[in-house]
């Protein structure tokens, strides 16, 4: 079945970086765009950015542009989110989600979420 | 990028219908037909229930329908059931190629 499996929870100090992985299976990885979305406890969804897997083209929300990197590894069908200069406000559950080109133009495959806690 | 505006909470009785609104601006909702809606139960990942304004993915109940007029999109759930109690988020592409979500609506089925 189609799925995205994310890496485990992270606890980080302020000012450091975190790298979260998202491994795809069960669908055409190269024909997808993987989004990263985060959700602080009790809050709404916030889009961070995306990567078009085939081209490697990326796009980011303005507030994250200076400190986020999204990459992909075609050999392992994995997308990575790298967020630097962490602060307490970055504490949230981070989700990856895929838009499958030629299927439905919405995020119809989601990862289970990765909890990132930023605390001194 | 401002979030799309949704009512924070709504409630309705089982069997009734409810419509959740999602208001944006010309640069996000008005010019595009890329509105999607997501349902999220507590502790779970969001689930796509509507894409491209009014299309349901395979397996999503026909009780869910949606529309858009100008800068306002709407999600209607008919024949409310207890399992529909969840958070609902609208989502749209913007003219700059980014994505914006609504603040979310907590639906209570009384």
Task: Output the pLDDT for position B96.
Answer: 81
User: Rounded to an integer, what distance in angstroms lies between the CA atom of residue B35 and that of residue B52?
Assistant: 5
Instruction: Find the radius of gyration of the CA atoms of chain B.
Output: 13
With a cut of 70, say whether residue A74 has pLDDT above it.
Answer: yes
Task: Output the pLDDT for position B27.
Answer: 55
Instruction: Quick: pLDDT tens for A14-47.
Output: 999 999 999 999 999 999 999 999 999 999 999 9
| Class of residue A120 by CB neighbours under 10 A (exposed 0-12, middle 13-18, buried 19+) | exposed
Out of A44, A50, A108, the one facing B48 most closely (by C-beta) is A108
B101:A44 CB<8 A: yes
Chain A hits for B50, CB-CB cut-off 8 Å, are: 106
B47:A110 CB<8 A: yes
Chain B hits for A6, CB-CB cut-off 8 Å, are: none
**CA dihedral (B78, A95, A99, A85) positive or negative:** positive
Distance from CA of A61 to the nearest CA of B (A): 6
Mean pLDDT of B3-26: 92
A111:B45 CB<8 A: yes
How many other CB atoms sit within 10 Å of the CB of residue B51?
A: 24
With a cut of 70, say whether residue B16 has pLDDT above it.
Answer: yes
Instruction: Quick: pLDDT tens for B36-87.
Output: 999 999 999 999 999 988 999 999 999 999 999 888 899 999 999 999 999 9
Out of A44, A95, A104, the one facing B45 most closely (by C-beta) is A95
With a cut of 80, say whether residue B8 has pLDDT above it.
Answer: yes
Half-sphere exposure in the Cβ direction for A71 (13 Å, CA): 8
| Class of residue B90 by CB neighbours under 10 A (exposed 0-12, middle 13-18, buried 19+) | buried
Task: Output the pLDDT for position B59.
Answer: 94
Task: Output the pLDDT for position B95.
Answer: 78
Mean pLDDT of A90-103: 94
- pLDDT band at B26, cuts 50/70/90? low
Which residue in A22, A32, A39, A45 has the most chain B C-beta atoms within 10 A of its own C-beta, making it the best mutation to test that interface? A45
Give chain A's mean pLDDT.
96
């Amino acid at each position: 079945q189609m799925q995205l499996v994310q890496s485990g929870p992270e606890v980080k100090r302020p000012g450091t970086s975190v790298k979260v992985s998202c491994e795809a299976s069960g669908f055409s990885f190269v024909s997808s765009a993987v989004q990263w979305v985060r959700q602080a406890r009790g809050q709404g969804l916030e889009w961070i950015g995306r990567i078009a897997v085939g081209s490697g083209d990326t796009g980011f929300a303005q507030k994250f542009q200076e400190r986020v990197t999204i990459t992909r590894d075609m050999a392992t069908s994995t997308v990575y989110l790298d967020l630097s200069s962490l602060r307490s406000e970055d504490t949230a559950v981070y989700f990856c989600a895929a838009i499958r080109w030629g299927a439905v133009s919405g995020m119809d495959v989601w990862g289970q979420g990765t909890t990132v806690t930023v605390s001194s | 990028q401002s979030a799309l505006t949704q009512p924070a909470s709504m409630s309705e009785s089982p069997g009734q219908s409810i419509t959740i609104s999602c208001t944006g601006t010309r640069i996000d909702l008005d010019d595009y037909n890329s509105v999607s809606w997501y349902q999220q139960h507590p502790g779970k990942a969001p689930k796509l229930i509507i894409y491209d304004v009014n299309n349901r993915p395979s397996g999503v109940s026909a009780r869910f329908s949606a529309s858009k007029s100008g800068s306002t999109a709407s999600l209607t759930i008919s024949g409310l059931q207890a399992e529909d109690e969840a958070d609902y988020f609208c989502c749209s592409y913007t003219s700059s190629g980014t994505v914006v979500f609504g603040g979310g609506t907590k639906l209570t089925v009384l």
